[in-house]
Structures are given as structure tokens and as C-alpha cells.
Structure 1
């Protein structure tokens, strides 16, 4: 199994707050609001950057720094006077980070770490939040 399916499985495990955990293709198809009942999570590799070859001789070996982004989409309407009784975004972020930080997928040697988070959009009672995690792998030449 590769990193993304394993991360999706961890986010969608028993007790998840998400109605569904999807990938990049589903995320790319969303126009204004996901078709599924909220909250929804999308997991995909958003960027990769490879280091130089680590070997002087023999097959190529490179460390590839991968950024995996998890986009959370949830309703956030606040209370009647416009304040927040409890912030559901903070609950969702804590769940997602707690399930992913420190986890080592089978195709990785190093644990997942958190890089950054940011609001993508907040409109009409729906909040889109993106958490980006480091998920490095090693690339090797196949002889």
C-alpha cells in the first residue's frame, strides 16, 4: 500500500468525524461545495522536490520531499449571535493531525510531520482548511 491510501484509511477509521475521505481527483471536481454531507477530507500529494543523488557509484538514490495536503471542508455557522460556542474546525484539525503526525506509512522510512496549515476559503457557512504534512520517500533506480 502507498502513502495516500494509508493516510486516507487512517483519517477514515472508526470514530472519524468525516463522512468520506477522498483523493485528488475528487477534490479537483468540486466546484462550490462537496456533494457529500460535510465534513469531508481530501488527501493528495501537492508537491515533490528531490535531492541530489546520494551515491557516488552504483544505482541512483534520492530523497524526495513530498508535501501531502489534507483539505478539510466543514460547515461552521457559529451560534445565534455570531460567536463561536465551540470551534468545529479546531476539533477537525486536532483529529487529523493526531491521526497523521508520527505515523510511518509502509513506503516511508521517516514519520509524517506537520508543515503548515491555512484557510483556503470561508464563505456561506463553509470553511475549507488545508493542512500540509511532510512525507519523504527515497527514489531508487531500477536496474
Structure 2
């Protein structure tokens, strides 16, 4: 699932110089990304729907929350306005690439949930987008 989203972002958002997963995100939080604009994609949580009728043969509905952390760097001004302008453009491109797209036939269409400024340091603006999808877990 994560690999499919990373591939989609690389294919649809040419501005990205780096798109990685959770391990890359961990390294980047310690030292900033080695290249920007960058994105990091990872699963935040999965929650099985307890109201699912397991006798219907479809399995249990599992809702997945994903984080896509975007990082831009622009040191043109100390206020961060230039970085914010760059981030707005990048966020728009990410929405165009992912909103309503399906990872595969087993997953529901991606939907954007919440977005928030995560950090601004050393001229790097970090923005976290939260996305959701769902699938049926058929078990063993």
C-alpha cells in the first residue's frame, strides 16, 4: 500500500526530489531531508470496524489512516512566507494526485482528513496531511 502511494506521488508530482517511507522520515526528522521538496508516507493506524457482520462473507472492514508529511525549504525570507507559498503549491499537486484515487481494487478511494503544520525550522517547513482508506480483511 505505501509503495503504491510513493510510486503515485513520484509519477504525478514531478516537483518531488525525494519520496520515502517511515525509515526515511525518522532520519529526516533528526537532520532535515537530504533534498526538498520531499514527502514521507507511512501508516499511522489501522482500526477494525467492530460493527462488521463477519458472517456475511466479506470479512471485517478495516479503516486505515495514513500520514503524508511534506517538506519544503525556502530561505528567501525569515518569516516563512516563501516556504508557505511553495507548500501551498505542493499540497495542491498532492491532492490532485491522490484525492479519489484507489491504491488497488481492494481499497476504498483515498480521502483527505486533516492537515496541520508540523514544524518550521532551519528554513524547512514540515506539513502533515492525514489521509484515509479502508479494505476488507478476510482473515485466514
SS of alignment partner, residue 55 of structure 2: coil
How far the C-alpha of 1:55 sits from its partner, in A, is 2.9
Q: Hey, what does 1:9 align to over in structure 2?
A: 7
Would you say the 8 A contact 1:66–1:134 is kept in 2? yes
Closer/same/farther in 2, CA of residues 131 and 83 from structure 1, 3 Å limit: closer
**Pairwise CA RMSD of aligned residues?**
2.4
Q: 1:58 to 1:102 in 2, by over 3 A?
A: closer
- Counterpart for residue 32 of structure 1: 31
Runs of 4+ in structure 1 off by over 6 angstroms are: none
1:132 counterpart (125, 130, 133): 130
5+ long unaligned stretches in structure 1: none
Q: Which moved more, 1:14-23 or 1:116-125?
A: 14-23
Which ranges in structure 2 are unaligned for 5 or more consecutive residues? none
Checking the alignment, whether the CA contact within 8 Å between 1:59 and 1:141 is kept in structure 2 is no
* Residue number in structure 1 paired with 2:43: 45
User: TM-score, normalized by length of structure 1?
Assistant: 0.84
For the pair shown, the structure with the greater C-alpha radius of gyration is 1
Which structure has more helix as a fraction of its residues?
A: 2
